[in-house]
Amino acid sequence: MPNIETQYMGLHLKNPFIVSSSGLTNSPERIFELEKAGAGAVILKSIFEEQILFETTDLLQYNSYPEAQDYILNYARENTLRNYTSLIEKAKAKVNIPVIASINCVSDSDWETFAKDIEKAGADALELNIYAIPTDKNKSAEYYEQIYYDIVSNLKQSIKIPIAVKIGKSFTNLIQVADKLHAYGADAITLFNRFYELDIDIEEFRLTSASIFSSEDELRSILRWIAIISGKIDIPISASTGIHTGEDAVKIILAGATSVQLCSTIYKHGNKIIGEMIEFLTQWMLAKNFKNIEQFRGRMNYESIKNPVVYERSQFMKYFSGIE
């Protein structure tokens, strides 16, 4: 049988399938069931900086004493962290697969303290979900990008466990951002972060949430960028968003992904989809006579194919030139 084991930022995985940060990974019991279903690793549900700030603001509106602000903020942080480190400890005691912690942050806050406690609790690695929304027209793109680099740099000085950075695609030069994140100490990147999406209720004139699940159509975007970045930068890449089938997983590994994150497809089909995707990957490798994943990883990335221009946007006009 083919060997589907892999390495992801120094972690040994029995297969490339990681259950991404979500409600699926918010309890030791659920994580245990995911391991039984075949998951190679799990990323715990995130600690959200925005949630801590929201809870703090909510508490402060009922307190008129200014000196209470620091106390309430510290209480909210410590309570959140205490619950999170407990989840890490219980998950590590229950499963044998790597347990990756997750922080969702929007600023260069005091995450060093959080990260140290997360490391001490036994997390095998940390995934950073960073998104600084550029709303100030007087600040440059470089200013917002530097927030990412500063967070990574500060955390790398505080902890020894590997750090992956989960980013969105709204950058002018994704290749440069990935390269700089690597230079500042990121051990891996995850493409792409699926941020909260808005919709508008035209009857009630209010903001609502768009669909929280990804669609298979979203695979195309990460396929292109993983193929390009993996061909130009030597950094492990975890694929996230739009991966719903075993065929999708094979495509994304051919493009150069080191690991494959699953979420929406598990919500839609249950834990059994993990085993089905493992079976597809194994049978495909048998049919193609691949003995291990490294024999085909990146075989279709930007640097490996004869005509890499097909990954470039200029092909858009060629593709649609015959449509009137």
Distances from the Cα of 127 to the Cα of 43, 100, 166, angstroms: 8, 7, 7
Does the pLDDT at position 75 exceed 60?
A: no
Residue 26 pLDDT grade (very low, low, confident, very high; cuts 50, 70, 90): very high
Q: Which residues contact 149 (CB under 8 A, 6 or more apart)?
A: 180, 181, 184
CA nearest neighbour of 7 among 104, 125, 145: 125
Residues facing residue 165 across a β-bridge: 128, 189
Percent of the chain with pLDDT over 90: 63
pLDDT, tens digit, 9 for 90 and up, residues 225-283 = 999 999 999 999 999 999 999 999 999 999 999 999 999 999 999 999 999 999 999 99
The phi, psi pair for 173, rounded to 5°, reads -130, 90
Q: Is the pLDDT of residue 117 over 50?
A: yes
Q: Beta strands 41-43 and 237-239: pairing type?
A: unpaired
The contacts of residue 289 (CB under 8 Å, 6+ apart) are none
Instruction: Indicate the residue type of 179.
Output: D
pLDDT in tens, 84-110: 999 999 999 999 999 999 988 766 566
Which residue(s) pair with 207 in the sheet? Answer: 200
pLDDT grade for 195, boundaries at 50, 70 and 90: low
Computed over every residue of the chain, the mean pLDDT equals 86
pLDDT band at 30 (very low <50, low <70, confident <90, very high): very high
What structural domains and CATH numbers belong to the chain?
Answer: 6-320 (3.20.20.70)
Residues with Cβ < 8 Å from 70, sequence gap 6 or more?
Answer: none
Whether the per-residue pLDDT at 203 is higher than 50: the answer is yes
pTM: 0.88
